[in-house]
């Protein structure tokens, strides 16, 4: 089963398009087992109300890919959820291929990559590995932080058409061309979600981060065309994570 099919199946089963971002503040690396326990506790509390879990450097650096993180992936899969690695792969092809092979070997079902590096000797090796192993690749189109405008929001020259175009529009078109499994567009820029949704249609789903702490609103992102909500600190730092996850689910129509 493809990653797109897997996450959509889980979304329907749990009646939720919320992806849990297991993000936590810095802690003493010597206490990594406490961090692992904290991540597992949040997972156990909210797993019935989400459709996937995303992990990034907040956990990979202190826990280790084939140590604590792989244990966590096992727990995620036991709950019937896919796991996404937010590594933002952004290197030459040979390095990107090794990155993908290691993360997929650890059990991740998909990873996030940065289209700035291009296709040939860039992201193509990641897609090749992903397709061979039936894993997913999600591309960044417009991130959720304010500085995103300096890169993703810049105007670029399109060599194919000879016209100027916003960088995020070019990336959305590449997501279609490369048959990506999703694109990331910040909930903080609903107008960009709407514009990119018009380009992608139903072919490539939009994953939208920046809910809550960064100022993005779940309802606004969904109305603009986001398919999945990437939610981290709003849930992980809450006194009652399940309550927040249930509230988010109530806003969605699956």
Positions marked active-site: 88
- Residue 90, CA distances (Å) to 95, 118, 125 in order: 9, 9, 12
- φ and ψ at 183, to 5 degrees? -135, 150
Beta-carbon contacts of residue 218 (< 8 Å; ≥ 6 apart): 187, 211, 229, 231, 248, 251, 252
């Amino acid at each position: 089963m493809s990653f797109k099919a897997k996450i959509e199946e889980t979304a329907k089963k749990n009646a939720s398009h919320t992806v849990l971002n297991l993000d936590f503040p810095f802690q003493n690396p010597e206490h990594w087992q406490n961090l692992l326990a904290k991540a597992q506790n949040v997972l156990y509390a909210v797993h019935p109300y989400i459709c996937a879990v995303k992990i990034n450097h907040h956990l990979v650096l202190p826990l280790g890919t084939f140590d604590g993180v792989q244990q966590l992936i096992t727990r995620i899969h036991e709950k019937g959820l896919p796991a996404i690695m937010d590594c933002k792969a952004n290197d030459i092809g040979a390095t990107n291929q090794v990155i993908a092979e290691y993360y997929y070997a650890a059990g991740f079902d998909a990873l996030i990559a940065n289209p700035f590096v291009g296709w040939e000797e860039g992201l193509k090796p990641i897609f090749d590995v992903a397709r061979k192993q039936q894993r997913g690749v999600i591309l960044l189109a417009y991130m959720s932080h304010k500085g995103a405008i300096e890169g993703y929001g810049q105007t670029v020259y399109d060599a194919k058409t000879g016209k100027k175009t916003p960088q995020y529009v070019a990336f959305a078109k590449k997501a279609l061309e490369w048959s990506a499994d999703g694109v990331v567009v910040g909930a903080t820029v609903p107008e960009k979600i709407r514009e990119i949704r018009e380009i992608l249609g139903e072919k490539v789903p939009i994953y939208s981060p920046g809910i809550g702490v960064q100022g993005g609103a779940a309802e606004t992102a969904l109305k603009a065309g986001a398919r999945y909500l990437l939610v981290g600190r709003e849930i992980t730092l809450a006194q009652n994570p399940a309550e927040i996850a249930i509230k988010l689910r109530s806003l969605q129509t699956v």
